[in-house]
Copies of this chain bind each other. A is one copy, B any other.
Amino acid sequence: MIERLSEIFSEIKLAYKIVEEVVKNTSIMRSKTLEALTQVKGIYIKCENFQRTGSFKFRGAWNALSHLSKDKKKKGVIAHSSGNHAQAVALAAKILGIKAVIVMPENTSEFKKKATENYGAEIIYSGNKPKDRAIMAEKLAEERELSLIHPHNDYQVIFGAGTVAYELLREIGKLDLILAPVGGGGLISGTAIAAKGLLPNIQVIGVEPQNADDAYRSFKSGTRLLVENPDTIADGLRTSLGENTFPIIQEHVDDIITVSEEQIFKSMMFYLERMKIVAEPSGAVSLAPLLFNLLNKKLVKNKRIGVILSGGNVDLLQFFSKFKSSDIKS
């Protein structure tokens, strides 16, 4: 067991050597207000919303693309994503001089389409279901001999994602607990490997929307369960756990907890109003357990806690136009 962890942890250290040169060493922020509110000794927020392309996904994309053979780099890559992974692959490919094709659903927001186009990727629209995207991407990958970069099942993507926690812990030193969002499971898997690799006794807890609680149910039941078209404002966390991430989560993650839509929204607003930073709903979920006191006191009291704020890609104008001020001010 320990041997397996140390082996897989060395992959993260290797990934860090690869991504270090090009990713931003993102700020770690603290908030006196937040620490006073939650009575936690120290809360260290790793701001991957400040990462290139606006989310941690750039780390995994860069690591995965860097690992491709010369021949595969020449032929190009393909990814399917409606969001952050698309932008990340597009920029990484652009910098590396690799051709990139992104398969997106037709109903992707203009905001995200433009961002991906700006990075020079070819965009191909599939239907609106995640399955359509995946089928289309696999078909195109074969036809055009492109390497498919999976958003969370690719081990190099997982190791790249793990560099967020690795960088946080190298800078801050000992933490007692790390909280990270859970969607397909790439970030929480990488986080767990990096954190336990550096600090065997650290707690790693994944945070998931109640409305997309496949990881929670999978973790508790021991069987990977899927969720179909979940309805949550945390659009980056609608995916189900992957085949490769679930076993890592079972072995190295200590718990998964779920949070409500209102808690996600209010966490995002806390970042906006009190800390003056933009977190997308999927990036804000990991703050909710602290803000709403959802964790066992023992885990929190007088502890030092890391929070991974995974991304900041949200069209606030469009987002707020869905709400009336009175709906959410309560």
Q: Which residues of A contact B (CB under 8 A)?
A: 27, 29, 32, 47, 49-50, 52, 54, 111, 272-273, 275-279, 312, 315-318, 320-321, 323, 325, 328-329
Contact = CB atoms under 8 A, between A and B. Distances in A.
Contact of A318 (B32, B279, B325): B325
Contact of A317 (B54, B111, B328): B328
Contacts of A277: 276-278
A54 B320 contact: no
Given A32-B52, A276-B278, A316 B316 contact: yes
Contact of A276 (B32, B111, B312, B318): B312
A22 to B, nearest CB: 11
List 6 A-B pairs, minimum CB-CB distance, nearest first.
A276-B312, A276-B278, A49-B276, A320-B320, A317-B325, A317-B320
Nearest to A49: B276
A171 B213 CA distance: 46
Contacts of A54: 276
A88 to B, nearest CB: 15
A276 B52 contact: no
Nearest to A327: B317
Given A50-B276, A316-B320, A320-B321, 10 more contacts: A27-B27, A29-B50, A54-B276, A272-B278, A276-B278, A276-B279, A276-B312, A278-B278, A317-B320, A318-B325
A58 to B, nearest CB: 12
A156 B127 CA distance: 63
Contacts of A318: 325
- How many subunits of this chain does the assembly comprise? 2
Contacts of A316: 272-273, 316, 320
Nearest to A55: B276
Nearest to A328: B317
A32 B277 CA distance: 18
8 contacts: A47-B276, A272-B278, A273-B316, A276-B277, A276-B278, A277-B278, A278-B278, A316-B316
A164 to B, nearest CB: 16
Contacts of A32: 52
Nearest to A33: B52
Contacts of A272: 278, 316
A275 B316 CA distance: 13
Contacts of A273: 111, 315-316
Contacts of A29: 27, 50
A57 to B, nearest CB: 14
A282 to B, nearest CB: 14
Contacts of A111: 273
A54 B47 CA distance: 18
Contacts of A49: 276
A168 B277 CA distance: 20
A325 B109 CA distance: 13
